[in-house]
Chain A
Amino acid sequence: KQEVTQIPAALSVPEGENLVLNCSFTDSAIYNLQWFRQDPGKGLTSLLLIQSSQREQTSGRLNASLDKSSGRSTLYIAASQPGDSATYLCAVRGNYGQNFVFGPGTRLSVLP
């Protein structure tokens, strides 16, 4: 059974810092991996989707990498801003199912 963990559970940084969020998964037979953002009381917003054949994806200040063999993904946020404050969720989709398995999330606070 696929298990997804995320480190750290919470992170507080001053505005302007670059930061890295980590995601690990136990079964490397994945179809894709997706990073989401969740604001309090809101649904999930897709940030980046990485297919299993890809190594990384970039969107603006966000860069996500995937190392399928080691079961790891990182989300890099450059020049963090207070508006980046949210919970960041990593989710993996296996080769044999349609649904995502989510990690517990990293709660990020960017202080002005």
Chain B
Amino acid sequence: GAGVSQSPRYKVAKRGQDVALRCDPISGHVSLFWYQQALGQGPEFLTYFQNEAQLDKSGLPSDRFFAERPEGSVSTLKIQRTQQEDSAVYLCASSWRQETQYFGPGTRLLVL
């Protein structure tokens, strides 16, 4: 079946712009995760949803970062007033409860 999809694949933003990144998880997957991966580093956890409930947002680096999953399927990660240090690959993953996490291809964000 279809895997996790993310859009856009690439996004260039001017400093101060707001951006919205979309994640379509595998159908039926209860859990959804967002990670941030800087160049040459492993992914770092941002936030976690179980269905529509955001159960953990301890990894969000500032209050400029906001995530939602209103109907328990598609999720959006929003970054307000982007800064250059926000440049990274943003990865979404989904899983059926506590099983293997399946990752999307990521959105590569470049803030100029």
Contacts and interface: CB of A to CB of B under 8 A. Distances in A.
B42 A42 contact: no
Given A99-B48, A99-B59, A43 B106 contact: yes
Contacts, number: 57
B101 A100 contact: yes
Interface in A1-53: 4, 31, 34, 36, 41-46, 49
A106 B73 CA distance: 33
B19 to A, nearest CB: 19
Contacts of A100: 33, 43, 45, 101
Interface string B7-47: 00000000000000000000000010101000011111100
Contact of A34 (B31, B55, B100): B100
